[in-house]
């Protein structure tokens, strides 16, 4: 079976390597263009190392790009971490169709920041879906799904790197086997249960200190490692990482620094204490709580807004 892989980053690279190691016939890989002066995408490097043709189109809407794709004569196209808009004709051409990895239990958390939102919204479980893409955003029929628990201290980073990344590669291999055996289902999503959230970026990662401590903690975990939940100190944006939560009463206004130690900066919140292990501002980089406090003059009684 002739396979074309469209993807990027470490996940795309690992998927390609796993397919090749299993003896699959990967005939082409599509990766993003590198920025001027930037290093090549890991998928490009992995494909080049295995002498697999690499394509880096500016846009997939170009007829010449599609013609080149058609010349590869794909039986199956795999989307492994794709952020570009891929026209439907790329999915219709392969004789066995196309499949896509998505890090949520669809139809919940459609969109580009599915892991972030599962944590931010306080979900107790998440997982991944391999589905047959169509013209919608994460709306196609489901091939298979895997589920995992979200621990009370999990972050977007821990869920992805410890679970959803390796599980996703294995799920793609499992899906390919099902397709080769003509045993791959196409289960329609229940669109009435769908949720769709916007990208998790600076527009949604600001801390509202009037919210309950648990909600603030969920935001901090869901934005760790990117984009970093943030607050302000002396009108300067400060991002939080490595946060922990102690559910305990305190009488200080939310956002007030209660103490600073080797664990980080202890901050009052409604119904608990948020302990921020590392912080980042424009001029400090990511540093420990104690180092940040020393550099920025933060001390018990200081209040972030």
Both 55 and 175 in a single domain? yes
Percent of the chain's residues with pLDDT above 70: 100
Handedness of CA 50, 56, 60, 62 (dihedral sign): negative
SS (H, E, C) 166-229: HHHHHHHHHHHHHHHCCCCCCECCCHHHCCECCCCCCCCCECCCCCEHHHHHHHHHHCCCCCCE
Position 304 in a domain: no
- Judged by phi (left if over 0) then psi (alpha if -120 to 50, else beta), residue 104 lies in beta
Both 134 and 262 in a single domain? no
Position 303 in a domain: no
Position 170 in a domain: yes
Q: Is 271:252 a contact under the CB 8 Å cutoff?
A: no
Q: Is 253:210 a contact under the CB 8 Å cutoff?
A: no
**Strand, coil or helix: what is 15?**
helix
Mean pLDDT of 89-97: 98
**Strand, coil or helix: what is 287?**
strand
Q: Residue 36: which pLDDT band, with cuts at 50, 70 and 90?
A: confident
CATH number of the domain that 279 lies in? 3.10.25.10
Distances in Å between the alpha carbon of 1 and those of 25, 29, 65, 84, 96? 6, 15, 22, 25, 9
Could you tell me which residues come within 8 angstroms of residue 64 by beta carbon, excluding any fewer than 6 positions away? Answer: none
Position 174 in a domain: yes
Among 163, 193, 223, where does a domain finish? 193
Quick: pLDDT tens for 254-296: 999 999 999 999 999 999 999 999 999 999 999 999 999 999 9
Mean pLDDT of 136-159: 98
Radius of gyration from C-alpha coordinates of the chain: 22
Both 135 and 229 in a single domain? no
pLDDT reported for residue 250: 87
pLDDT reported for residue 226: 97
pLDDT reported for residue 41: 97
Both 223 and 188 in a single domain? no
Position 233 in a domain: yes
Both 242 and 281 in a single domain? yes
Spatial separation of the C-alpha atoms in residues 246 and 225, rounded to whole Å: 21
Quick: pLDDT tens for 159-218: 999 999 999 999 999 999 999 999 999 999 999 999 999 999 999 999 999 999 999 999
Q: State the residue range of the domain holding 94.
A: 2-193
Both 156 and 185 in a single domain? yes
Both 140 and 217 in a single domain? no
Token readout for 220 is: 């901090």
Does the pLDDT of residue 242 top 90, yes or no?
Answer: yes
Both 149 and 235 in a single domain? no
Token readout for 110 is: 């459609």
Could you tell me which residues come within 8 angstroms of residue 286 by beta carbon, excluding any fewer than 6 positions away? Answer: 239, 241, 278, 279, 280
Closest CA to 265 of 300, 219, 233: 300
Q: Residue 130: which pLDDT band, with cuts at 50, 70 and 90?
A: very high
Q: Domain count for the chain, please give it.
A: 2
CATH number of the domain that 132 lies in? 3.40.50.170
Does the pLDDT of residue 224 top 90, yes or no?
Answer: yes
Q: Residue 102: which pLDDT band, with cuts at 50, 70 and 90?
A: very high
pLDDT reported for residue 37: 87
pLDDT reported for residue 98: 98
Q: Residue 20: which pLDDT band, with cuts at 50, 70 and 90?
A: very high
Percent of the chain's residues with pLDDT above 90: 97
Both 158 and 279 in a single domain? no
pLDDT reported for residue 277: 98
Global pTM? 0.96
């Amino acid at each position: 079976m002739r396979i074309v892989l469209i993807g990027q980053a470490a996940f795309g690279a690992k998927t390609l390597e796993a397919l090749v190691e299993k003896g699959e016939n990967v005939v082409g890989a599509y990766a993003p263009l590198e920025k001027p002066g930037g290093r090549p995408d890991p998928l490009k490097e992995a494909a080049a190392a295995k002498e697999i043709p690499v394509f880096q189109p500016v846009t997939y809407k170009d007829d010449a790009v599609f013609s080149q794709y058609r010349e590869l004569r794909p039986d199956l196209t795999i989307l492994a971490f794709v952020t570009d808009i891929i026209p439907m004709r790329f999915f219709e051409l392969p004789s066995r169709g196309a499949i896509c990895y998505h890090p949520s239990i669809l139809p919940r958390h459609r969109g580009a920041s599915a892991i972030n939102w599962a944590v931010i919204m306080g979900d107790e479980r998440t997982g991944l879906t391999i589905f047959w893409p169509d013209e919608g955003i994460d709306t196609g029929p489901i091939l298979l799904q895997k589920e995992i628990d979200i621990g009370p201290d999990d972050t977007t980073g821990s869920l992805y790197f410890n679970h959803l990344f390796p599980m996703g590669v294995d799920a793609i291999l499992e899906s390919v086997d099902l397709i080769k055996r003509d045993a791959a289902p196409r289960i329609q999503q229940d669109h009435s249960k769908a949720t769709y959230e916007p990208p998790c970026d600076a527009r949604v990662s600001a801390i509202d200190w009037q919210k309950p401590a648990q909600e603030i903690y969920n935001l901090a975990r869901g934005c760790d490692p990117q984009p970093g939940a943030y607050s302000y100190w002396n009108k300067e944006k400060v991002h939080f990482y490595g946060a922990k939560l102690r559910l305990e009463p305190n009488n200080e206004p939310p956002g007030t620094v209660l103490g600073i130690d080797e664990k980080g900066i202890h901050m009052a919140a409604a119904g608990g204490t948020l302990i921020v292990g590392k912080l980042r501002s424009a001029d400090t980089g990511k540093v420990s709580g104690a180092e940040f406090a020393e550099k920025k003059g933060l001390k018990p009684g200081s209040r972030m807004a």
